[in-house]
Chain A
Amino acid sequence: MKSAIAAFALTSALVAPGLAAARPVTFTTTLNNYGGDGAYLALYLTDASGAYAGTLWMAGGKSKYYDSLAGWYRATGGDPAQIDGITGASVGAGRTLEITLDLADALFDAGYVLRVDAAVEDMRDSPDDVAVPLTTQGAGKTTQGRRYVASLKYDM
């Protein structure tokens, strides 16, 4: 249900030089009814070598809980600059997070992987709950997550 449009700023190499080389992409993340409080979710990209490339969205506003998103925290050290302007509320069990971002074409079919780390209070952490390669063919297909994420898909 969450809808957002953000001027997406990944690391400088990935920023679209102009609108011609970018397109709006909608990411839809639906959570299981895991029977707990709202989940913190970090949506971020790693490049072909597995290195952190940038954050797409942070669902959850309190930085004291970010180290429970172990993969994202390991990559960024919790750097607030990484999520400046792309932070929203945590996502309740059974709810859907929908975000729309202008993504550079260069991010597709280039070995980039979209990863979602999830954490819920008083429940286990789930780094890498789901990981999907960003490809043009993969658009519109849903992928099942490991614990909290029921499904993840992106549409162009």
Chain B
Amino acid sequence: MIRVLLHRWPGLAGLLLVTLLAVSGAALSVFPAIERLASPQAAGGLSVGDLAARVQAEYPGVEQIRGAPSGRITAWWFQDGTPGAAVIDPATGQGVAPVDASPAERWLVNLHRQLFAGDTGRLVMATGAGVMLLLCASGVALMARRMGGWRRWFGRTRGGLEARLHVELARIAVVGLALSALTALWMTASTFGLLPDQARAPLFPATTSGQTGIAPNHIAALADLPVAALRDLSFPDPTDPTDAFTLKTDRGAGYLDQGTGEVLAWTDAPALSRVTDTFTMLHTGRGAAVLGLVLGLMALAVPALAVSGFALWLAGWRARPRIRGNASASRAETVILVGSEAGSTWGFAATLHRALSEAGQSVHVAPMTAFDPARYRAAKRLLILAATYGDGMAPASAKGFIDRLEHAPALSGVPVAVLGFGDHSFPAFCAFADEVTQLLTAKGWTELLPPDAVDRQSPQDFARWGRALGRTLGLELELVHQPAQPATEALTLVSRRDYGAQVQAPTAILRFALPRAGFWQRLTRRGFARFQAGDLLAVLPEGTPGVAPMPRLYSLASGSRDGFVEIVVRKQPGGLCSGQLVALEPGDSIRAFIRPNPGFHAGHGRAPLILIGAGTGIGPLAGMIRANRRARPVHLFFGLRARDSDFLFAEELAGWQREGRLARLTTATSRGPRPYYVQDALRHEAPEVLAMIRSGARIMVCGGRAMAEGVTAALTDVLAPAGLTPAVLKAEGRYVEDVF
């Protein structure tokens, strides 16, 4: 809600206006600093009386002296029938510079303040300031949520270029932007007379002493007044004894007798006028030139925030599921709810929507987060397509669904079918869908179809479920969904290193040239422009012509910064893709794309890493060590068969140890008189492992399922003395696995 209503739409609507305000404000911010530098400053003890006397000695026809918050003193006089004016050096009373109203500054002020359109323009610009303040407030709330709390305000940022740029700039600039916007609104209110802050001169006194000619430095009220407090001193007409000095200070305004110097009338400025003065100073930098420059610099972040924010919105808009002819929630007979993490489930939902709509149904598709049973007035059935995130968590588009479901009464006459999406090789396969199913049953919802699942986006599974749904509804329902795949790139092999032939595990480290990323990819850091060890390389095997091949995923052992694409492949008996890969020679090429795998990144920070891998599982871990340029403490447990045969990355690991990228290496060899596995090594080094975990270490495991289970069992024992379990560490995100 915050994101869309209070940040995205105001941001898009006010994009140009807020940018214009910020850029013009940033340009204006330099003027107070220039003025400050160009203005001779008054000595601390100088009084207005002495200043006025000095000026009067130099310019006997002086009519007005003004003091600006920048310290600039300006005097105007009328002498020998000609008006004159100058910036005054308070030390001498002499003019030192012309009073030039810079046309550029005036033009900018008029643009910034009122768009050259008077009061209408002022209101438009004030609206812009209001939008800015709203964006700051909603942005702060979003930022706290994104960073995981206020205390992590300056934590590491994640995500694509636009998101990081937006966050990194905003979290610093927000202070200045909010201050500028708030003070702008206050100043607008003051200008329109909405605040009781106006320092008005009192009524002119009816009687004066009738004398004239007192020297300003003999007027007590001026002799006590420091120059910094002076706003304006107007001299009386010496030929008119009823006239008087008019004095305006930061405290108020009044009249002084030109014969006796007596205060004839005085009004203190209202308390709010001090607030307005302070806000004006903060906003304009007049009287606070350095702050003005800082605020100006912060305002310069706005164009970048606008561009990156717009790009973020555009990316989301492009990625949004395109459901043509989506019926409204209140009219649809069939409501489809989608729980999707990366968006692939939306594709299935779109296919289902199209097929049902073509069969004459009115169908509403929505994310599970939008679950709102009270609106489903015409609904006859509810279909839930739910993926699972990580270890059984709700996917992105289903956050909060469980809570909503728990607090809503079951709709009678609206049976539900749940279809889970997942990967059978994971123990938490469709765990979220199962949780939804159980809660639906517990809440008394009726079942339309028994729970079913689609394994690894299988079109066959989906079509089978569609036929079952069709039978229940009395429709011919043929769901044909081929998941769309990202565009692939051709990767050319540059080198290969072979291992493991002697131990019947032929394995190769394949290094491909990094394909040239297009301009847009580089700008948005997508595809091959930005990936890191732990992300996945999806390789399309050469297959039968006419049949779309399913990509095979390999963990990347390099990042884009390394300048090459590296994977470790073991030839699987009868494996189509691994066989093709292991047969590659330098110069051969394959087709592949990057699939981000943010759950298995080493992450930033200084906490130690415990990397545990066996066989080809060393790949991503080696890539992480190679990328560890900041010498974060890393302890690698590597399980292999025989040191002289499949010790992958042996040379590099030795080098990385010398360079400090790898603090400690423990190998476990399974072939030999005494088989020794990584789980054995973990138990053997339990005190060291536990000490690292106590100091905040993160555990990353990569390898086969049996090995991962063995590691979990070993760690259960290792952690027990500390009262910890692998499950606790997993929940904290400190224990992650990439299992194949």
Which chain A residues have a beta carbon within 8 Å of chain B's beta carbons?
A: 35-37, 61-64, 67, 70, 73-75, 77-78, 89, 122-125, 146-147
Contacts and interface: CB of A to CB of B under 8 A. Distances in A.
A123 B200 contact: no
Nearest to B63: A124
B200 A67 contact: yes
Interface in B334-375: none
A100 B83 CA distance: 31
Contacts of A64: 190-191, 193, 198
11 contacts: A35-B103, A36-B101, A61-B119, A62-B193, A70-B234, A74-B204, A77-B204, A89-B118, A123-B99, A123-B101, A125-B64
- The B interface is mostly helix, strand or loop, or mixed, namely mixed
B270 to A, nearest CB: 12
B191 A67 contact: no
A69 to B, nearest CB: 11
Nearest to B246: A70
A37 B204 contact: no
Given A37-B106, A64-B193, A124 B201 contact: no
A155 B201 CA distance: 35
Contacts of A67: 200-201, 253
B76 interface: yes
Contact of B106 (A36, A63, A70): A36
B110 interface: yes
A52 to B, nearest CB: 10
Interface residues of B, number: 27
Interface string B177-213: 0000000000000111100001011011000000000
B253 A63 contact: no
Going nearest first, the 5 A-B pairs with the smallest beta carbon separation are A74-B204, A124-B76, A77-B203, A67-B201, A64-B198
Nearest to B100: A35
A122 B74 CA distance: 10
B539 interface: no
Contacts, number: 44
Q: DSSP majority for the A interface? A: loop
Given A64-B193, A78-B200, A35 B76 contact: no
A73 B85 contact: no
Contacts of A37: 106, 110
Given A37-B106, A73-B201, A146-B83, A63 B193 contact: yes
Given A64-B193, A124-B64, A35 B101 contact: yes
A73 B119 CA distance: 23
Contacts of A147: 83
Given A74-B204, A147-B83, A62 B64 contact: no
A124 B85 contact: yes
Contacts of B83: 146-147
A146 B77 CA distance: 12
Nearest to A77: B203
Interface string B203-227: 1100000000000000000000000
A147 B78 CA distance: 10
Interface string B89-106: 000000000010101001
Interface in B59-88: 63-64, 66, 74, 76, 78, 83, 85
Nearest to A78: B200
A37 B108 CA distance: 12
A56 B66 CA distance: 30
A124 to B, nearest CB: 4
Nearest to B198: A64
Contacts of A89: 118
A44 to B, nearest CB: 14
A93 to B, nearest CB: 10
A35 B101 CA distance: 7
A51 to B, nearest CB: 11
Most buried by B among A64, A77, A125: A64
Interface centre among A35, A75, A124 (most CB of B within 10 A): A124
B75 to A, nearest CB: 9
Contacts of B99: 123
Nearest to A146: B83
Nearest to B240: A50
Contacts of B234: 70, 125
Contacts of B101: 35-36, 122-123
B633 to A, nearest CB: 62
Given A64-B198, A124-B74, 8 more contacts: A35-B106, A36-B106, A64-B190, A67-B200, A70-B234, A123-B99, A123-B101, A124-B85
Nearest to A147: B83
A37 to B, nearest CB: 7
Contacts of A122: 101
A99 to B, nearest CB: 19
Q: Which of B99, B119, B204 has the most CB of A within 10 A?
A: B204
Contacts of B78: 146
Nearest to B85: A124
Contacts of B85: 124
Interface in B501-525: none
A67 B63 CA distance: 16
Contacts of A35: 101, 103, 106
Interface in B291-311: none
A40 B246 CA distance: 19
A113 to B, nearest CB: 14
